[in-house]
Amino acid sequence: MAQDRAGSGMSAGDVMDGGAVPHDGQTVETAAGEEIVRLHRIIERWLHGPAGEDDFEPFSDALASGFTMVVPDGALLDRERVVADVRAVRGSEPGLEIHIHDVAVVAADASVVVATYREEHRGSASDRSRHATVVFVRDEHALTGLRWRHLHETWAS
């Protein structure tokens, strides 16, 4: 299982191997691991600040049309709300480190990939861990061949 900090150069090939090929010859496990780490690197840089609008585009572009998210307190957010909320917190957590652990693909077919992972925040006012389940839609135009369609986070004890 992968244990690494987003932004530290983790090779998603270290996450998992095997499975169906989703994009550019990668396994579905590799693509999912790369996409999870990639998006959290973007978020981490955005929260560190100072980042420009060009740095935000890869975040918003990663989210599919119709994206939804269940945050750890149970609220359901739509894509527009998530984009607005993340945009509003630029530079708010300069010491934050995001660590991604235990990435696993739990289901995959020709159009959808479902993966789980544990996300740990360190160096911020909210040093907590959460368990996450992400539903990706396959998209040949996305960098890793996957685009985020739904994310469900739950606080880890």
Quote the domain boundaries for residue 45.
Answer: 3-155
Tens digit of each residue's pLDDT (9 = 90 or more) over 110-143: 999 999 999 999 987 677 899 999 999 999 999 9
The answer to pTM > 0.75 is: yes
Count of alpha carbons within 13 Å of 85, Cβ hemisphere only?
8
Mean pLDDT of 51-61: 89
Token pair 């909320």 is at which residue? 85
Average model confidence (pLDDT) for the chain? 86
Number of domains comprising the chain: 1
- Return the CATH number at 11: 3.10.450.50
Phi-psi region of 152 (alpha: psi -120 to 50; beta: other; left: phi over 0): beta
